[in-house]
Amino acid sequence: MSDDEKNVVSVEFTQPPPMTRYDWQSVADELRQKPNEWARVFKDGPVSAVNSLRQGVAALPPEEFKFRTSNNDKTARPRTCDLWIMYTPRKKGKK
């Protein structure tokens, strides 16, 4: 082993931080009450939640909802941002 390599010499047993679970169905239901209006869903939330939404969440299909972020903090760990979502109803006959 070289001088600049280190072995892990201790382990700390502790509980991880609590998981945040988003009720995306409730968010979708509320957004449907005000179509074509932007709503800030969270401030300083995890970018990973936004990535999940963009990959597809059943309650918020990208065909019906638009997603935007602001105040992206790339230096925070984990990375954070503000999340905005708008419900854009499909026109009848369009998919």
Range of the domain at 37: 24-87
Task: Identify which of 86, 94, 70 has the alpha carbon closest to the alpha carbon of residue 31.
Answer: 86
Structure letter (DSSP) for residue 31? H
What pLDDT sits at residue 9? 79
What pLDDT sits at residue 59? 96
Q: Does 19 reside within a domain?
A: no
Q: Could you report the per-residue pLDDT of 56-84, keeping only the tens digit for each?
A: 899 999 899 999 999 888 887 888 999 99
What pLDDT sits at residue 95? 55
Q: Does 33 reside within a domain?
A: yes
Q: Does 77 reside within a domain?
A: yes
Residues 44 and 80: beta-carbon distance below 8 Å:
yes
Q: The pTM is what? A: 0.73
State the Cα–Cα distance between residues 22 and 85, nearest whole angstrom.
14
State the Cα–Cα distance between residues 73 and 12, nearest whole angstrom.
29
Q: Does 56 reside within a domain?
A: yes
Count of helix runs (H) and strand runs (E) in the chain: 2, 3
Over residues 41-56, the mean pLDDT reads 90
Q: Does 8 reside within a domain?
A: no
Q: Does 94 reside within a domain?
A: no
Specify the number of domains making up the chain. Answer: 1
